[in-house]
Amino acid sequence: MGAAQAGVEVRIAVENDPHAAATYAANHPRTTLLRQDIRRLKDIPIRSNGSSTVLFGGPPCQGFSTSNQRTRSSRNPQNWLVLEFLRIARLWRPKWVVFENVKGFVETADGIFLRQLQKSLADMDYSVTTWVLNAAEFGVPQVRSRLFVVGSAQGAPIPKPEGTRKAPLTVADAIADLPQLENGASIDWLPYEDRSPTRYARRLRGKLKGCKGHLVSRNARYVVERYKHIPQGGNWEDIPNRLMRNYADPANCHTGIYHRLDAKKPSIVLGNYRKNMVIHPTESRGLSVREAARLQSFPDWYDFKGSIGFQQQQVGNAVPPLLAEVVFQAVVKLARE
């Protein structure tokens, strides 16, 4: 999405997850989608003329996330899918490469994956730059840092994008115009609220009168009761002990659990926001799929496929399109010089 917004024509995509593939096909019908494991891809049916091609992507990020200490190591076979990115780069030899992952990729296994990636790209004669960019500094209402390793075969490295010095967008900026919902809301399409949308919201709404994605997980009554005790910006520590008795030791809960968003600040990282029970700033419920998509900067016409759980996973896993757009704008600018 971000590449397209920057003017890149995305000709081919490879996606192995069936639900993500269904979403991709629905929203990007002009792109040839190969629904397969990247390890099975032996040929790319587009010739790289060395002047305008770009390879971009990233391996599954769960094995590099700092919230995952169980399989965050070089022993996790999924983490070595980074070698597939390098294999495709060698096979196709594009003019540009853009690799993305979570910030934790930098430190995982003492940096072995990052060093391997940088060295291999350099050995292919790419000028390599490495950036960690915070989405909140690039017009996304969420504090979300992502790693980008960018290679240029043009001879000169791509300058790092500069973030804005303006105050970051807030949760309210992103979702205040969306409908009020209840725990377990299940009506997919709804009209917009009769409120004046912010400039950010207007950009994502376009000319629509309403949108899909107003789906909220149904939490148990005792979970909703916990929500009522948490102020904006608070978390599980604000919940009375009498309501946390099903936890063996509530003191061991992660600070991101039961976090109620602060309407006047950017969102925290939206990972698995259903499992972490991220709470709406003013309503005692979890976030809807569309609210999370707004906080990720997806346009409202973007239609997520699959059950609510799979939709939530896709939104939480995604690179914010506005952040990706900034990265690809840097590539396009240098390509035109």
What residues are annotated to the active site? 61
Q: Judge contact between 219 and 285, C-beta under 8 A.
A: yes
Picking from 256, 298, 262, 266, the residue whose alpha carbon sits closest to that of residue 282 is: 262
Close Cβ partners of 171 (under 8 Å, ≥ 6 residues apart): 141, 261, 262, 263, 264, 265, 266, 267, 281, 295
Angstrom distances, CA of residue 12 to CA of 56, 82, 183, 305, 329: 11, 19, 39, 20, 19
Close Cβ partners of 313 (under 8 Å, ≥ 6 residues apart): 19, 272
Amino acid at 290: R
Name the helix (H) or strand (E) containing 14: strand 12-14
3-state secondary structure of 133: strand
Picking from 121, 122, 107, the residue whose alpha carbon sits closest to that of residue 55 is: 121
Q: Judge contact between 176 and 272, C-beta under 8 A.
A: no
